[in-house]
Structure 1
Amino acid sequence: MTADTLATAPVGGPSLPQERRLVTAIPGPRSQELLARKAVAVAAGVGHTVPVATVAAGGGVIVDADGNSLIDLGSGIAVTTVGAAHPKVVEAIAAQAAQFTHTCFMISPYDSYVAVAEALNRLTPGDHEKKSALFNSGAEAVENAVKIARKHTGRQAVVAFDHAYHGRTNLTMALTAKAMPYKSGFGPFASEIYRVPASYPLRDGLTGPDAAARAITLIEKQIGADNLAAVIIEPIQGEGGFIVPADGFLPAVAEWCTANGVVFIADEVQSGFARTGAMFASELFGVVPDLVTTAKGIAGGMPLAAVTGRAEIMDASHTGGLGGTYGGNPVACAAALAAIDAYETEGLVERAQQIGDRIRARFTDLQATDARIAEVRGAGAMMAVEFADPATGAPDAALTGAVAKACIAEGVVVLTCGTFGNVIRFLPPLTIGDALLDEGLDVVAAALAAN
């Protein structure tokens, strides 16, 4: 792509025509040009899912350099929940950038960092006294939540769960369950990390209390509560397959943590900020975490993350023990305040519920005639379809990959996930219209029928 290409790119945001439009095959020639440059200039370990050169995005579409307009059912992995160029976010970014782009909050503080912390303290589950600290990414938030929990308890061990995903740094790779592509060849990993089974109703057949009892027994016998600083879990597991735990699982684990002085950390990086039809997924299960990690949807696409939790736990660290040069960058904070305003004033929690209802209804209907759909699950606009062999129940990654590839070729961005690679996940921006969403689901259904 040349400077001329960028100069003539369409304006992003909701002003983009909300349509699926294929001008060329995907990838088109200009996208191929960028991908060729990427192959030479960018490390091979940085992959991509959709072979296009994006020049604009907004509402429910992504436009590439060849003029193709793709329906976006991925939101940059749940990041652009308010849309890729929400007017409030764009305006807030521009205004703040004109004032100053950085001072480092640890050098000279500024209002927007404090305002984001105040908003998070108000919005996260529970009415107890809370405090927050801001960082750059979900993995950074998780690392710091573990640091805080260890400092508070004076203990070292941390429990994560099967199918978990918590990041790609050394500590968070240790917490993450799946080897490829996240962990293979990158060890050794951080110590004192332990793993126990989660609740996976489709595959374990256990009730929530029984699944919790299984996990707690392993914790008590193999680790010991007195050695355990924290239990960390995604209320709805993300990369592991959008696994919704059975009723009663999360409350039982959280109650055990409270009884044993263990910090219960809810990783809401992917499930937070209206995505599940609640502001935070923990609310769906009646759970009040001790600490909550957030990122992704927090700031409309700007890099920002946070740990929010009980004030007495958050204050465990000595002064200077938490922070980072870019953590709580003022431009990202301005974007977050605008995004939070959109969540609270534009009915986006309710919109997520409506989107989820449409996706669930569509694939539940398909499931009645296609036994390869093993389960339709999720909450709000965080929905998934798991595919399996009807005869054996074995995960069908080949079908999943074929369907996703066919959708992208037809101008619909879909993402796969799951420990077994057999899940298609739906994470549309909450700004997508019903007609565009339904058209995208039509393409997915056609791809499934053709494979």
Structure 2
Amino acid sequence: MTAPARTRSTAELIRAEEPVLAHNYHPLPVVVARAEGTWVEDVEGRRYLDMLAGYSALNFGHRNPVLIEAAHRQLDRLTLTSRAFHNDQLAEFAQSLAELTGLDMVLPMNTGAEAVESAVKVARKWAYEVKGVPADRATIVVAAGNFHGRTTTIVSFSTDETARAGFGPFTPGFRIVPYNDLAALEAAVDETTAAVLIEPIQGEAGVVIPDEGYLTGVRELTRRAGCLFVADEIQSGLGRTGRTLAVEHEGVLPDALLLGKALGGGIVPVSAVVARREVLGVLRPGEHGSTFGGNPLAAAVGSAVVGLLKTGHFQLRAAELGVVLRDGLTSLVGKGVVGFRSRGLWAGVDVDPAIGTGREISERLMAEGILVKDTHGSTIRLAPPLTITEEELRSALGALEKVLAA
């Protein structure tokens, strides 16, 4: 009888990656082999509570049974046609997503960065054809501290030198203003402005939440100035903050929404620009596209995701457990936590630098069976699947308290 193949250890697998993978990430030293719900297991059988959820791509948990069933069902039928042909899943997906967001039209893409790039193109086209901005003079106003992706155009308006350094020359046409500053935003908007592109909550910056009234002010300002309000909800959207969309906390509806991550349920990459008909209506055949955007497998999974969100269950869980998260972090302020920002099941936690960097705190939590990820300095992000139980959430907070005390 042939002996079963030996599973390589964590150390062996990490060493095997070193010479063949580009070093564009610095992952924690854990090698995940399987997952279910809120838990992952490494190649040696150790279990960890996932408090990152793929940067919100896994809002509905690992291998959510509803989404897995939708994917299996579609895998047995049809996976790709390209947009050269119609497929029988795309119309339902687009219609359900438009209804969920309260907008009119959908441009399906794959990744979040693709959605942002698509929105930049569409906003410029709209500025020339609808607003009447002279050719090649359109500008887009963005906020400092933003994270919209890492493509060449997107890093052109990043203020993170790690993302920018060594990748110029940069794409012109962007104006950067401080986040959460309506006066600065108003000063930057003029007759050439095609759009204001912002995150309702800045995720990569450390879950930075603007003052109450900021999003309402952006909506009013853009309406007065005759330019578009484009909200990047790739991380903040689809239940994460206790509402379907983070902009709902102020009751505003942008001209265009950018969605991704959780839209694919952690199964396939799915993103979309969802906008008013006047905005996406500027596109004509041949001007923009994607071979895989809107593929039937992605559309089937995306429709199932929308179905989960329509129940309101996950939004309610995020809101209710968000109170537990906020209260737990409040109790740690002065005990190693110097500050935090949270909304729903999403938090940026600033740890006393004397205790450790964000990376060091993440590694110590990993040793306690909790997976998180650092962002800048001594800040860590908490973004568990929305399926997490109160007991699991309290366990994670207890592990953080233990690590800080140690």
Aligned residue for 1:66, secondary structure, equals: coil
Aligned residue for 1:44, secondary structure, equals: coil
Question: CA offset at residue 398 of structure 1?
Answer: 4.2
Q: 1:157 is matched with which residue: 117, 133, 139?
A: 139
1:366 corresponds in structure 2 to 332
TM-superposition CA deviations, 1:72-99 (whole Å, max 9, x none): 0000111011111011111111111111
Q: Residue 145 in 1 paired to residue 119 in 2?
A: yes
Aligned residue for 2:148, secondary structure, equals: coil
Aligned residue for 1:226, secondary structure, equals: coil
Question: Bigger shift: 160-169 or 54-63?
Answer: 54-63
Q: Residue 214 in 1 paired to residue 184 in 2?
A: yes
Matches within 5 A, 1:19-30: 30=9
Question: CA offset at residue 346 of structure 1?
Answer: 6.7
Structure 1's 115 and 41: CA in aligned 2 closer, same or farther, altered over 3 A? same
- Matches of 2:196 and 2:340 in 1, distance apart? 28
Matches within 5 A, 1:35-434: 35-45=14-24, 47-104=25-82, 106-124=83-101, 126=102, 130-154=104-128, 155=133, 156-180=138-162, 182-199=163-180, 211-217=181-187, 219-220=188-189, 225-301=190-266, 302-345=268-311, 347-367=313-333, 369-370=334-335, 373-387=337-351, 398-418=356-376, 421-434=377-390
What fraction of aligned residue pairs are identical, expressed as a percent? 33
Is there any run of 5+ residues in structure 1 with no aligned partner, and where?
7-28, 200-210, 390-395
Aligned residue for 1:122, secondary structure, equals: helix
TM-superposition CA deviations, 1:141-168 (whole Å, max 9, x none): 0010111111011142111101100001
- Matches of 1:341 and 1:213 in 2, distance apart? 40
- Matches of 2:217 and 2:48 in 1, distance apart? 43
Question: CA offset at residue 318 of structure 1?
Answer: 2.1
TM-superposition CA deviations, 1:412-439 (whole Å, max 9, x none): 1011224xx3321111001122222211
- Matches of 2:170 and 2:22 in 1, distance apart? 22
Question: CA offset at residue 445 of structure 1?
Answer: 1.3
Question: CA offset at residue 279 of structure 1?
Answer: 0.2
Question: CA offset at residue 189 of structure 1?
Answer: 1.7
Question: CA offset at residue 405 of structure 1?
Answer: 1.8
Q: Residue 440 in 1 paired to residue 396 in 2?
A: yes
Question: CA offset at residue 382 of structure 1?
Answer: 1.4
Moved over 4 A (4+): 2-6
Q: Check whether the contact 1:133–1:323 (CA below 8 A) recurs between aligned residues.
A: no
- Matches of 1:44 and 1:366 in 2, distance apart? 35
2:13 corresponds in structure 1 to 34
TM-superposition CA deviations, 1:179-223 (whole Å, max 9, x none): 22x222112221111100012xxxxxxxxxxx3123322x04xxx
Question: CA offset at residue 228 of structure 1?
Answer: 1.0
Question: Bigger shift: 230-239 or 146-155?
Answer: 146-155
Question: CA offset at residue 42 of structure 1?
Answer: 1.0
Q: What is the Cα-based RMSD across aligned positions, in Å?
A: 1.9
- Matches of 2:143 and 2:166 in 1, distance apart? 21
Q: Check whether the contact 1:299–1:337 (CA below 8 A) recurs between aligned residues.
A: no
Q: Check whether the contact 2:355–2:404 (CA below 8 A) recurs between aligned residues.
A: no
- Matches of 1:140 and 1:121 in 2, distance apart? 19
TM-superposition CA deviations, 1:260-300 (whole Å, max 9, x none): 11111000000110011000001012221000000001121
Q: Check whether the contact 2:97–2:306 (CA below 8 A) recurs between aligned residues.
A: no
- Matches of 1:4 and 1:335 in 2, distance apart? 34
Q: Check whether the contact 1:212–1:250 (CA below 8 A) recurs between aligned residues.
A: no
The amino acid that maps onto 2:364 is A
The amino acid that maps onto 1:188 is P
Q: What TM-score comes out, normalization by structure 2 length?
A: 0.93
Question: CA offset at residue 130 of structure 1?
Answer: 1.0
Q: Check whether the contact 1:153–1:261 (CA below 8 A) recurs between aligned residues.
A: no
Question: CA offset at residue 327 of structure 1?
Answer: 0.7
Structure 1's 319 and 440: CA in aligned 2 closer, same or farther, altered over 3 A? same
Aligned residue for 2:331, secondary structure, equals: helix
Q: Check whether the contact 1:165–1:175 (CA below 8 A) recurs between aligned residues.
A: no
The amino acid that maps onto 2:23 is A
Is there any run of 5+ residues in structure 2 with no aligned partner, and where?
none
Structure 1's 350 and 399: CA in aligned 2 closer, same or farther, altered over 3 A? same
1:14 corresponds in structure 2 to none
Q: What TM-score comes out, normalization by structure 1 length?
A: 0.84
| Count, aligned residues | 395
The amino acid that maps onto 2:366 is I
- Matches of 1:38 and 1:355 in 2, distance apart? 38
